[in-house]
């Protein structure tokens, strides 16, 4: 869940607008907490309220009070639009408090493997019910600017426990 909450802050939405010539254009729009940006993508038979350009459909009062408290705490602790790598890292690290405590796991081992520019530290998580297969390989998708081996520990322990 914490990853989904983090994405609320990092994701950029888009809105359709008509230019003066009447041509439809797509422009970026920042997602905000407690606001339904669009109901167009809700699948299935879920009743939806049409989005009216220029108006927000407020759903804040419909949230569970505990969920709203978490969202309010996140909003108060995070720079919503970081402009430097240092600000992005600080924002990312502040979200980790919502990940909860790392799960117990049978074994965690840091190893060194050769990389193109020298040795790379990897972490191997072994769940209690470990067999030779399956193996899950998780590659961090960044330049270690905002996250690192330790920032993903809680997530990877949970993945290992559920896939072992």
| pLDDT of 43 higher than 60 | no
Q: According to the model, what pLDDT value does residue 98 have?
A: 80
Mean pLDDT (the chain) is 72
Tracing tokens 């407690």 back to the chain, one arrives at 34
pLDDT of residue 12: 34
- Asked which of 22-26, 32-36, 67-71, 92-96 is least confident by mean pLDDT, the reply is 32-36
Distance of alpha carbon 88 from alpha carbon 86, whole angstroms: 5
User: 88-93 contacts: CB < 8 A, separation 24 or more?
Assistant: 88/145, 88/146, 89/145, 89/146, 91/9, 91/146, 92/6, 92/146, 92/147, 92/151, 93/151
* Residue 81 confidence (pLDDT): 78
Model pLDDT, residue 109: 95
- % of the chain exceeding 70 in pLDDT: 59
For residue 77, give the nearest of 89, 95, 52 by alpha carbon: 95
Residue 6 to residue 117: CA distance in whole angstroms: 31
The pLDDT, as a whole number, for residue 67 is 85
Q: What is the mean pLDDT of residues 8-18?
A: 41
Encode pLDDT of 141-158 as tens digits.
766 678 888 888 999 999
Domain ranges of the chain: 2-82, 107-163
Q: What is the mean pLDDT of residues 106-122?
A: 93
The token pair at 53 is 């350009």
Categorize the per-residue pLDDT at 85 as very low, low, confident or very high, splitting at 50, 70 and 90: confident
């Amino acid at each position: 869940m914490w990853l989904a909450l983090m994405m609320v802050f990092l994701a950029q939405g888009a809105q359709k607008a008509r230019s003066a010539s009447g041509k439809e254009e797509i422009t970026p729009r920042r997602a905000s907490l407690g606001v339904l940006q669009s109901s167009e993508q809700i699948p299935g038979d879920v009743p939806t309220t049409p989005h009216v350009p220029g108006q927000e459909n407020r759903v804040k009062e419909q949230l569970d009070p505990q969920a709203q408290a978490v969202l309010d705490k996140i909003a108060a602790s995070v720079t919503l639009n970081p402009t430097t790598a240092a600000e992005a890292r600080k924002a990312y690290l502040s979200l980790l408090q919502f990940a909860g405590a790392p799960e117990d796991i049978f074994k965690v081992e840091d190893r060194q493997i050769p990389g193109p520019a020298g040795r790379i530290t990897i972490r191997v998580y072994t769940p209690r019910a470990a067999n030779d297969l399956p193996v899950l390989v998780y590659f961090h998708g960044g330049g270690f600017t905002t996250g690192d081996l330790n920032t993903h520990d809680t997530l990877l322990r949970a993945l290992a426990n559920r896939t072992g």
